[in-house]
Structure 1
Amino acid sequence: METAERARLDAFFGRIASHFTPAERPASLLITHLLPERPAFVRGVAEVTELRAVLPKPKSVHAEAMRLVENSGHTCDKLSRELFAEPDRAVRYIEAKAAGLRVVLLDVGGYFAPSLHTLCERFSGSIIGVVEDTENGHRRYADLGKLPCPVVSVARSPLKEPEDFLVGQSVVFSAEALMRSRGDILHGRTALVIGFGKLGSSIARLLHAKGVRVTVHDIDPVRRTQALSQGFSVARSLEAGLEGAGLVLCASGALSLRGDDFGRLRNGAYVATVTSSEDELELAGLNEVYERTRVGEHITRYLTTGHYFYLLNGGNAVNFLHGASVGPFIFLVQAEILAASAALARGGLDPGMHELGSADRAAIAATWLDYFNR
């Protein structure tokens, strides 16, 4: 990032922070993709809250970004699902970082969800709330039922819609780039898109524009009707959709392919995801059946008697191979995370799922336009 671009981004987050910083800053723990532009967001979080630890998502860590964050005096800890899956371990970790403090948890993917009830009950300070960035994480918290604290989700914010569309572009770009590295192209291929939410529908439209015959599978009948209305074929079952697809893109935000489903893939099919293998794919049992061979950079062939398919980027989000860039639109969502943190700090939100108000979103959008609509 050029010096002028960095200065403009810092100025943007500085203005957002000055608008939303609460009278009493809470402590925070930040889970984030640590991509090249992310240090500016981390600095913004540190203005609105007292940032106690950064937990980079392990499959999206840029070395220079981590160096900049650590040089700014922030601790980067190792993140895994296991860290917060076991309540006692989760409590020990947060006690070590912020004992006795008011804490907001900034999440990407529902990492804190398994231990949230225990954290709210046993932590020596207080968990004043969670800010969640993704649809996958939104569902993890919603599935808890009666929540012990407020959870402010930005996953369904209108400010996130540009990001979702552009992430779809980056997913299609990366999948095609890997296929082309083996002499294959998208045009004329058949594809199955699993999940027809905002991201999956974007991917389906972009694939169609590239001459791909797209079939959609979604467990939600409403989304299936939406796919039909937009001109896509809808698989009568996942099994039927898999059998005809030369490319499978998993965008459900949940488990898309179980172990038995891989055997239904047509020979030579490519499989890619938009989140991570631990969320979308049940890969563990395949190692006993398939021989794995690296046949290209970030392409693994799974081969057994009479059957083979290709897995892109080890089943992790394929777009992170090429930076997962969505341009300055990502800063809209990051600014909303700062505003949501401030809303939790001010208090007054009951336990349960919440969204930021329209007035705050309008203020964020207007500020963003001042800096990036040039």
Structure 2
Amino acid sequence: MESPERARLDAFFRQITAQFPAGEAITTLVITHLLPERPAFLRAMTEVSTVGAVLPKPRSIHQPTLDDVRRTLPVHDLTRERFTDETQALDYLEDTAGGRDVVLVDIGGYFAASLDTLVSKFSGRILGVVEDTENGHQRYAALDSLPCPVVSVARSPLKDCEDHLVGRSIVFSTEALVRGRGDILTGRNACVIGFGKVGRAIAQTLRALDLRVTVYDKDPVRQVQAHSLGFRTCASAADAVREAELVLCATGNLALQQSDFAALRNGAYLGSVTSSEDELELGSLHSLYQRTSISPELTRYEITGHYFFVLADGGAVNFVHGAAVGSYIHLVQAEILAATAALSRDQFQPGMHEMAASDRHAIARTWLDHFER
């Protein structure tokens, strides 16, 4: 990042943290993508909290950024297992932030499985969770009851811009990987599973590239929305993928289970918008299919009479090329900072919450002043 760009970004975050000051002293555990723009967000997080640990998502680590962050902040390895096992999660939290007031900053619902134990048995206080993604939002919403506040920015209007650009970046990276094999997408049959904001952007971008697009979403309202926009729809995921030469999954949940893969057309390309363990049940195929690495980001799955290609080992395809969405990402990061500060002031009761419209308006105005005027 060039010096003037860094200075402008730091000035933006300084204004955000001034508008949304923290209350009591808190410690944060921050799950994050470690991409080149992320240190500015982490510097801002140190203005509202003591960062007890940065936990990088394994498939989205830019090595120079990791080296940079390690010079000033503690960086710990992140695995789903660390926080799925309640005893292991509690031991980790005690070792990292024992006795302190803690806010958990999440991407993907990592803390959901052990949240009850962390809230009830931790020697400090869990003030709450800030969740960034749709799949994480769904993980917390699926709990019988929430023992602390969870502030989700996953469905914030400020995230719409990012989601639209993420959809476009997914298609960009998909096309680049397919072209790397000497193939093209134009004129193909494509299937998009999941017609939320990202899935809609993917479907529209694919259609603009002259693909024939079928959409499946288990929500009948979204099916109707897709149909009204001129997309073919199907009654099941298996039906939707049957004729598709490209399948992109954007549900924020489990899109394809073991039984669905058999329906894939021979030679189809399969990709995901989020982590492979969230969208694709690929692990169930490892004893059935032979896997051959065609390139670092393309794997052939083959069983007698059937084969298909998996992009980016089932991880988010756009991270192959850095997942850049420009300065719009800072809108969401600003809302995460505001939510963290709100939790430090005990602003919410246990349950699912989102930031007030007035807070989002303030963030949008500040963003416009810094990046568009």
TM-score norm. by structure 2 comes to: 0.98
Equivalences for residues 263-342 of structure 1 within 5 A: 263-342=262-341
Structure 2 residue 221 is the aligned partner of structure 1 residue 202: no
Taking the aligned partners of 2:63 and 2:289, their CA distance within structure 1 comes to 33
The amino acid that maps onto 2:351 is: G
In the aligned structure 1, how far is the partner of 2:87 from the partner of 2:350? 22
Aligned partner letter, 1:221: P
Q: Distance in 2 between matches of 1:155 and 1:284?
A: 27
> Which residue identity is paired with 1:335?
A
Partner SS, residue 75 of structure 1: coil
The farther-off stretch of 93-102 and 322-331 is: 93-102
Q: Distance in 2 between matches of 1:348 and 1:282?
A: 39
- 1:166 is aligned to 165
Asked whether 1:16 is paired with 2:16, we answer yes
Q: Is the 8 A contact 2:99 2:123 kept in 1?
A: yes
Q: CA deviation at 1:85?
A: 0.4
Quick one: which amino acid aligns to residue 316 of structure 2?
A
Aligned counterpart, 1:51: 51
> Which amino acid in 1 is paired with 2:134?
E
After superposition, the C-alpha distances for 1:304-332 in whole angstroms (9 at most, x for unaligned) are 21111111010000000000000000000
Matched residue, 1:39: 39
Instruction: Measure how far apart 1:235 and its partner are.
Output: 1.0
Aligned pairs (5 A) from 1:110-189: 110-189=109-188
Whether the aligned pair in 1 keeps the contact of 2:237 and 2:256 (CA below 8 Å) is no
Structure 1 residue 194 displacement after superposition: 0.5
Q: Deviations over 1:4-27 (max 9, x none)?
A: 111111111111112212232311
Q: Deviations over 1:204-255 (max 9, x none)?
A: 1111111010001111111101110111000122221111000000101111
Distance in 2 between residues matched to 1:287 and 1:183, nearest whole Å: 27
Shift of 1:123: 0.3
Shift of 1:38: 0.3
> Per-residue deviation at 1:294?
1.6
How far residue 258 of structure 1 moved from its aligned partner, in angstroms, is 1.1
Superposition map of 1:340-355 within 5 A: 340-355=339-354
Structure 1: distance between partners of 2:259 and 2:347: 48
Note the C-alpha offset of 1:121.
Answer: 0.3
**Which amino acid in structure 2 is aligned with residue 108 of structure 1?**
I
Q: How far has the Cα of 1:99 moved from its partner? A: 1.1
CA distance in 2, matches of 1:113, 1:303: 35
- 1:73-116 superposed Cα distances (whole Å, 9 cap, x missing partner): x1110001101101111111111111111110000000000010
Write the letter of the residue equivalent to 2:270. Answer: V
Deviations 1:235-292 (A, max 9, x none): 1222211110000001011111112211111111000000011111111232222221
Query: Using the alignment, how far apart are the partners of 1:304 and 1:87 within structure 2?
Result: 38
Distance 1:80 1:289 in 2: 25
CA distance in 2, matches of 1:172, 1:25: 43
Q: For 1:212 and 1:101, how far apart are their aligned partners in 2? A: 53
Give the Cα separation in 2 of the matches to 1:153 and 1:23.
Answer: 20
Question: Using the alignment, how far apart are the partners of 2:251 and 2:368 within structure 1?
Answer: 31
Answer whether contact 2:23 2:341 (CA < 8 A) is retained.
no
How high is the sequence identity, in percent, across the aligned residues?
59
* CA distance, structure 2, for counterparts of residue 356 and residue 117 of structure 1: 23
Aligned-partner Cα distance in 2 for 1:345–1:236: 45
Distance in 2, matches of 1:67 and 1:111, equals 24
Other structure's SS at 2:235 match: coil
What CA RMSD, in Å, does the superposition of the two structures yield over aligned residues? Answer: 0.9
1:52: Cα distance to partner? 0.6
- For 1:236 and 1:155, locate their aligned partners in 2 and report how far apart those are by CA, in whole Å: 27
Distance 1:71 1:273 in 2: 33
1:26 matched residue in structure 2: 26
TM-score by length of 1: 0.98
The amino acid that maps onto 2:137 is H
Report the AA paired with residue 290 of structure 1: Y
SS of residue paired to 1:114? coil
Structure 1 unaligned spans of 5+: none
Between the aligned partners of 2:335 and 2:20, the Cα distance in structure 1 is 10
**Structure 2 counterpart of 1:102:** 101
Q: How many Å separate the matches in 2 of 1:78 and 1:237? A: 38
Structure 1 residue 297: deviation in Å? Answer: 3.7
